[in-house]
Homo-oligomer: A and B are copies of this chain.
Amino acid sequence: MKSYEKKYHKYKSLIDQKIHSCIHKKEPVSLYEPMKYVLSASGKRIRPLLIVLSCEAVGGSMNEALNAAVAIEVLHNFTLVHDDIMDNAESRRGRATVHVRWDSNIAILVGDELVALAYRELLRTKSKAIAQVADVFTEGVVEVCEGQAYDKEYEMLHDVSIDDYLLMIAKKTGKLFSVSSEIGALIGGGTEREIRALRSFGTYIGRAFQIQDDLLDIIADEKEFGKKIGGDIIEGKKTFLLIRAAERAQGKDKKLIQSIIKNKGTSMKNIPVVKDIYERCGIIELAKQSIDKDIRQANLQLEKLRDTPAREMLFWFSNMVLNRQF
């Protein structure tokens, strides 16, 4: 286990370094200062690591995948900056969001240029499969936009089903995970079967990751999480938990859940009340089971690959995503 952590940190620091070197311009200051601010935030770099490990798992090397790894993280940061505007999010990774620290116009521009920088990095990839890699990447951008559009649509609806929710998170969150593992496999020169397996691996991990994210809103340690606990409840966000609770809760509980949906949120004092409903109705357990199931499915995909150290590390990696211990 220790050696995986070591390798993870080694790769992460290489990726971080390359991400920071993406921006060498200084002017206009109003643009490049916030851009540096965004890319200097210390994310977990999950998606880049997924690219690198997937590439290695099919016989490629870390170096071949490095540009794409940086590209996916820069792209991910673009989605964060723009989503934060749309979601009126005030903090991210424990710091003020761009549109709060500067303004919305700056945040729009920062996101826009990040997309360009992401493509620049991606297209520096030396690979026979570069055309396919670019296609998969672009489809990723498209679906992430679609996912965010669904998310915003759902804010206006009272009857979002769990299937609606799963479609939305598959696009908004899951897609960049499957794009990452697929791109890694493509760059590494994987077979059709390997590419398919790794793409599915990403899809499952991505779904588990998002449901875990929903869960952390209520069970996490505030400092570690970097966000306020119960924020989703206050905003009436249609998470896995809220949608399942709307299905399962009865009587007074059901009324409260429905009022949160109808009023698009509730007051802080209701956070422990809702948490209690989630616990009593088995929603927390349900979320955990769903995550477990996805991780098992993800691991089944890995079984289709040759037994290599990179594959072993992907097993470790999926477990880490589940436990968020990094």
Contacts and interface: CB of A to CB of B under 8 A. Distances in A.
Interface of A: 25, 27-31, 78, 82, 85-86, 104-106, 108-109, 111-113, 115-117, 119-120, 123, 131, 134-135, 138, 141-142, 145-146, 148-150, 152-153
| Chain A binding surface SS class | helix
B120 A135 contact: yes
B28 A109 contact: no
B148 A109 contact: yes
A299 B111 CA distance: 37
Contact of A86 (B108, B138, B145): B108
Give 9 closest A-B pairs by Cβ, nearest first.
Answer: A116-B141, A31-B149, A113-B145, A28-B149, A86-B105, A120-B138, A30-B153, A116-B142, A123-B134
B82 A146 contact: no
Given A31-B146, A31-B149, A105-B152, A141 B123 contact: no
A97 to B, nearest CB: 14
A78 to B, nearest CB: 8
Given A145-B31, A146-B31, A153-B30, A138 B119 contact: yes
Contacts of A82: 108-109, 112
Q: How many copies are assembled?
A: 2
B115 A149 contact: no
Q: Which of A113, A142, A149, A152 has the most CB of B within 10 A?
A: A149
27 contacts: A27-B146, A28-B150, A28-B153, A30-B152, A30-B153, A31-B145, A31-B146, A82-B109, A82-B112, A104-B104, A105-B152, A106-B152, A109-B145, A109-B148, A109-B152, A112-B112, A112-B115, A113-B146, A115-B116, A116-B141, A116-B145, A117-B142, A119-B119, A119-B138, A119-B141, A123-B131, A123-B135
Q: Which of A82, A108, A117 has the most CB of B within 10 A?
A: A108
A113 B141 contact: yes
A313 to B, nearest CB: 31
A78 B108 CA distance: 12
A235 to B, nearest CB: 15
A26 to B, nearest CB: 11
Q: Which of A106, A111, A138, A153 has the most CB of B within 10 A?
A: A138
Q: Which of A106, A111, A119, A120 has the most CB of B within 10 A?
A: A119
A30 B28 CA distance: 34
A109 B142 CA distance: 10
Given A111-B112, A112-B145, 7 more contacts: A28-B150, A28-B153, A85-B108, A109-B148, A112-B112, A113-B145, A115-B115
Contacts of A145: 31, 109, 112-113, 116
Nearest to A75: B116
A134 to B, nearest CB: 5
A152 B30 CA distance: 9
B112 A141 contact: yes
